[in-house]
Amino acid sequence: MVLDIGARSPDFTLIDQTGSQVTLADFNEPVVLIFYPADWSPVCSDELSVFSAAHRLFQDRGARLLGVSVDGMWCHQAFHAQRNLSFPLLADFEPKGAVARSFGVYRESDGITERAIFVIDATKHVAWREVFPIGENPGADGALREVEALS
């Protein structure tokens, strides 16, 4: 079951594409979690490029962007560099999908995450969330509107 709006966000620590640990509790600002199925897929590439292009808009409103998939650090490193992304990609790799499961967006049958976006407010509660069809690029507008509402 997908985490409800108003629910306390699970805390987590994951490795980003540089090998650095990223812990949700360390952020004092809103965080946009972008769960996506896989590096290198056409729709995921487009979605993350849209968020990268909009990164400054989120940053200007005091929010952080974090991409999350079950791909490993090395895959994220190559993908991040090739796509020239402006925000970290987190490896929900081992145990596979543990963070996605805690948010209710792990696709057990496929071994990947759903395409989902969560806006976590500064108090670590889910302010907004949406799960999208796996083949659809949701864009950044919904998450940006919610971040603006939190400002």
Residues catalogued as catalytic: 44
Cα separation, 1 vs 134, in Å, equals 17
Give 131: exposed, middle or buried? Use CB within 10 Å, 0-12, 13-18, 19+.
middle
Cα separation, 132 vs 95, in Å, equals 24
Cα separation, 47 vs 94, in Å, equals 24
